[in-house]
A and B are shown apart, each in its own frame.
Chain A
Amino acid sequence: MISTASFDFVADLQRRETAMRCEPGKEYLVEARLLPLAREAGYEDVDAYVARLRVDAAARADAVDALTINETSWFRDLAPYQTFTDTMLPALLESRAHVRHLELWSAACSSGQEAYSLAMLLRENLPPGWTATIHATDVSRAMLTRVKAGRYSQVEMNRGMPATRLVRWFERAGSEWQVSEELRSMITTEQLNLAAPFPPMRRFDVVFLRNVLIYFDAQTKSDILRRVHHTVAPDGFLLLGTSEYALDAGPGWQREVSGKTWMHRPEGARPATPAAGAAGPAGVRGGAGSAPARPLATTVPATATASFSSTLGTVARAGTGATLPTSLTPQGA
């Protein structure tokens, strides 16, 4: 088992570099994540490896990367992406008609699945003549290198990528799959530590800040949300993770619900969802305001699978089968 001194050193390193907390009790996790690196570098145990970290900056960067939780998947949790196509995109197509361009930000993008998932939805749904850029940032340079390469292992491809999109947007590249140049060209990358002051940034129409705030303490969270506020267009959208949306975002934010997704919006933004009770377009349920929407139907409507599968026969012209199937598993129901 890792010694207390080694653990403290590693926890402190992690906090300094990423603001992520690594509290006592997580010794097992640290050990499990560092052991492969230790073995690879020829050390018998983690303590010997940590001794090396004290004097080797390059090894420290690798260790921080290994300790960081990069867990991600394509179209993670589904519902936010559905809300993106069903609610946010229609609103933005109206409000940005004069520029015909959208700016998105995937903050804490990990290996890029979030950014590329959005790129696919944009390519499949943007009207001709429109363009979009997705700015992908993370504290880890190793992750940004991966985003730029756009290459994913077989195991990663399995995580939430609909087969129709796999065949449409990816090519085999050795043991991996590579995302098409068309999508890669929509992505810009930048190393950015959310816990530190931001460099000058553009205004974004949509910000995905998902599954990263949970790792920070309350003060860091609220600092980040304040900084992010300056980067979101007055009528823009901020999406937090499924376990994060309930947190108090602090001043300047209002919440709006669409389906089972909570969106944070700068105060004063005109609701993007049709007024409660009004019949919205397919897929948009629930209304504006702060009351949670009724969960979606609790059983699988016969049409859900059928309508999705009907798009599957058209792999060759998959551009028409762009929308995600209705997801039918309400959270917190």
Chain B
Amino acid sequence: MTTTTDTPVDTVVRVEDVRALLDGVWESFLGAEEPLLTAALPAHLGGWTAAVSVTGTWRAQITIEVVDPLARLVTAHMLGRDEEPAVEDVRDALGELVNMVGGNIKSLHHGTAMLSLPWVGYGEDAPPPLLRETCRLDLTWRGLPLRVLVHVSASAAAADERRHSG
């Protein structure tokens, strides 16, 4: 096994950990009756994108992509209301969702890092990350697709790959 000394913090983000954290968020706010299911999804979902970034001794971006009907369903659930949520409500709910998932992912590592405020957009991509994908979850909830992506700093990811292929 090769070890590197140039990456201060282990930047591996295990997909099982992300899934466990996501399930925790989901069960707490959206109920345990309908689980999130693994699915094969198209490359572009179209719809909402919510992201937060982590900066510090390690760098990452956590992104959630959801189709609009699911975004509205999730928002209505979180607000405990039956009526159609306003666009501003959807924006806020998705922001809080990615904040929770991102904050939990940040704490997977021992380093010191800061979480950004969430960024939420519709029909656009998240700010182009100078980072590369390290973890992807393609899922459905109540038959509607969502995707969770974790990108980490490219140099850290490369160092990591060296270490794990060694």
Contacts and interface: CB of A to CB of B under 8 A. Distances in A.
Contacts of B57: none
Interface string A151-187: 0011100000000000000001011100000000000
A175 B28 CA distance: 16
Given A153-B20, A154-B24, A155-B27, A175 B35 contact: no
A32 B28 CA distance: 16
B35 A36 contact: yes
B104 interface: yes
Majority SS of interface residues in chain A? helix
A172 B17 CA distance: 12
A39 B21 contact: no
Given A172-B107, A174-B17, A175-B104, A39 B27 contact: no
A174 B33 contact: no
Interface in A178-201: none
Contact of B21 (A35, A154, A172): A154
A174 B108 contact: yes
A175 B20 contact: yes
A154 B33 CA distance: 19
B162 interface: no
B114 interface: no
Interface in B5-47: 14, 16-18, 20-21, 24, 27-28, 32-33, 35, 37
B104 A39 contact: no
Nearest to B107: A172
Given A32-B33, A36-B35, A39-B35, A174 B24 contact: no
A214 B32 CA distance: 24
Contacts of A36: 32, 35
Contacts of A32: 32-33
Interface in A187-222: none
Nearest to A36: B35
Contact of B37 (A39, A174, A175): A39
A174 B105 CA distance: 9
Given A174-B17, A175-B17, A155 B24 contact: yes
Nearest to A156: B24
Contacts of A153: 20, 24
13 contacts: A32-B32, A32-B33, A35-B35, A36-B35, A39-B35, A153-B20, A154-B104, A172-B107, A172-B108, A172-B110, A175-B104, A175-B108, A176-B20
User: What are the 6 A-B residue pairs with the smallest beta carbon separation, nearest first?
Assistant: A175-B17, A36-B35, A155-B24, A175-B20, A175-B21, A32-B33
Given A32-B32, A174-B14, 5 more contacts: A35-B33, A39-B37, A154-B21, A155-B24, A175-B20
